[in-house]
Chains A and B, each alone.
Chain A
Amino acid sequence: MTNPGRRLDARLHLLDRQILDVDGRMVASVDDVEIQRRADGTFAVTALLVGPGVLGPRMGGVTGRTMTAVWERLAHKDRTEPGRIDMSEVADIGSAITLSVRRERLSVAGFETWVRERVIEKIPGAFHEPQE
């Protein structure tokens, strides 16, 4: 973490916050966090978790179960392997969370990639800047 002097409430300052990459492109929302026990007995947030695979269990209820089930089906994964962004890649925590890497280097955008390759890139103009 970049500013160790500041106390952060994981619930208030991390959960559900927008994650931006180093270029300001949107990556995901923080759907859950990974917490590990350090050697000295204290707990630390070690990663941001993203994707319906973690959001579903966090939500709970019928909605949450459905969300997890659909995700497991479509992503061919189970919930033990969620999208994970290590805290070492977090540069700043403000009204959004900014990373120190480009989003292409993270492997958290399965659905985005699928839609891009199967649908969007097949439509003419997908690579163009919006026109005047």
Chain B
Amino acid sequence: MKKLFAVALGILTAIGGFVDIGDLVTNAQVGSRFGMSLAWVVVVGVLGICVFAEMSGRVAAVSGRATFDLIRERLGPRLGLANLLASMTVTLLTFVAEIGGIALALALATSVYEFLWVPFTALAVWLVLWRAKFSLMENVFGLLGLALVVFAVALWQLGPDWGDLWHQAGTVAKPGSEDWSTYAYYGVALFGAAMTPYEVFFFSSGGVEEHWSSRSIATMRSNVFIGFPLGGLLSLSIAGCAAVTLLPAGISVDTLGQVGLPVALALGKIGLAIALLGFFAATFGAACETGLSLGYSIAQYFGWQWGKYVRPREASRFHVVILISTVLAVAVLLTTIDPVLVTEFSVVFSAVALPLTYFPILVVANDPDYMGEHTNGRLANFLGSVYLVVVLVASIAALPLMIWTKMGQ
């Protein structure tokens, strides 16, 4: 019974923790401009994050070593350092976007300007990272993030023409007013939003934090293969809501307020309040995850003590990295840069940086020296190789598309 509860909790938090500011903004943007015609990218991205997270989770469970530890071992210190710098830059960008997202959610709830919220939200995030227990953080924000189910309810309440939505999703077509280049750009952005590098640092380091062993593999897999696809459904319902209400009105999403607008139209004040809670939990949870990931990756590269299972004074360098990152994030946001714009950059650069972490993990997952009998099976290797190509294509295409379309104009 207790075991069943633990498994259910794991799956629920995986669903609720799946969506972050990148998913919220990008899915709504894509829905409002392309309808459901890019839904297939979400499916590809969710399957991709399942493959990737399962591999790195298995590696963490069997070898007890987390992602960046292995990246340095496989790539050597030089290439590993270049990889570290690139990955940390992208994760820092995501961290900034998530903190900005919390501030935007609080601004929407109170009408106090988001920039006034920034220092307080950053302080709150830091306090959680400093004091709260790992499992507490993961469970609270994961469960509260389930509030985003309100988007699925709203979509159902809006009573769309389901046949039409299926048709849009089933055919690779775009509205006449958009170019194929912007279609491709948003495809890459959506892929980057679904497959963000920090998710994997966090997932595998979290496995080490919670002392996974080979026996944890089954639980880990149920979280990944049930939780993530259901989380992906939340992403799709956000896109669906935008496709049904915003697209026909000619609204293309630029602000977080527009993301939640369909819920207000469908369900009124209570629905909107739940959506706001979901925004807050999703961005706050992801801010904690990205903040920790910054500490994890640099500490794992240099071999420093990291993790929340020890007292802060025993992992001083790890905590000082988190502290500096938080201050840096506040400084960036207080330039009054639009957090939604930061989000748009962060998802594209996520797509660019993804192969840097994906490739070493794929190699290690096949190495019997680390994995013993738990190396990749035939299916994992097939999917792993297919996704290596997908990840590479998205990475190479991302920047040219971003420049060519002027960020999707």
Contacts and interface: CB of A to CB of B under 8 A. Distances in A.
Let me know if chains A and B touch directly in the complex, using CB atoms closer than 8 Å: yes
Contact of A132 (B133, B308, B316, B323): B133
A116 interface: yes
B310 A25 contact: yes
B302 A28 contact: yes
Interface residues on B, range: 35 or more
A131 B131 contact: yes
B180 interface: no
Interface string A33-65: 000000000000000001000010011110100
A130 B317 contact: no
Contacts of B304: 26, 28, 112
Interface in A75-132: 95-96, 111-112, 115-116, 119-121, 123, 125-132
B-side binding surface: helix, strand, loop or mixed? helix
B77 interface: yes
B77 A17 contact: no
Contacts of B306: 26
Contacts of A63: 78, 81
A59 B81 contact: yes
Nearest to A24: B64
Nearest to B303: A29
B308 to A, nearest CB: 5
B64 A95 contact: yes
Interface stretch (B65-73, B145-153, B271-279): B65-73
A61 B78 contact: yes
B317 A112 contact: yes
Given A17-B73, A59-B81, A96-B65, A25 B314 contact: yes
A131 to B, nearest CB: 6
A41 B134 CA distance: 52
Contact of A29 (B72, B130, B312, B320): B72
B311 interface: yes
Contacts, number: 95
A29 B301 contact: yes
A128 B131 contact: yes
B33 interface: no
Contact of B134 (A31, A60, A125, A130): A130
Interface in B25-72: 63-65, 69, 72
B305 A16 contact: no
Given A27-B303, A132-B136, A119 B320 contact: yes
B311 A116 contact: no
B73 A16 contact: yes
A116 B303 CA distance: 16
A115 B80 CA distance: 24
Contacts of A16: 72-73, 76-77, 80
Interface of B: 63-65, 69, 72-73, 76-78, 80-81, 130-134, 136, 299-306, 308-314, 316-317, 319-320, 323, 369-370
Given A16-B80, A125-B312, 11 more contacts: A16-B73, A25-B305, A28-B303, A29-B302, A29-B303, A96-B64, A112-B316, A125-B130, A130-B131, A130-B133, A130-B311
30 contacts: A16-B77, A16-B80, A18-B300, A18-B303, A26-B299, A26-B304, A26-B305, A26-B306, A28-B303, A29-B72, A29-B301, A29-B303, A30-B303, A31-B77, A59-B81, A96-B64, A96-B65, A112-B305, A112-B317, A116-B313, A120-B319, A120-B320, A125-B130, A125-B131, A125-B312, A128-B311, A129-B311, A130-B309, A131-B132, A131-B133
Q: Which 9 A-B pairs have the closest CB atoms?
A: A29-B303, A116-B316, A28-B303, A26-B305, A120-B316, A95-B63, A130-B133, A115-B316, A126-B313
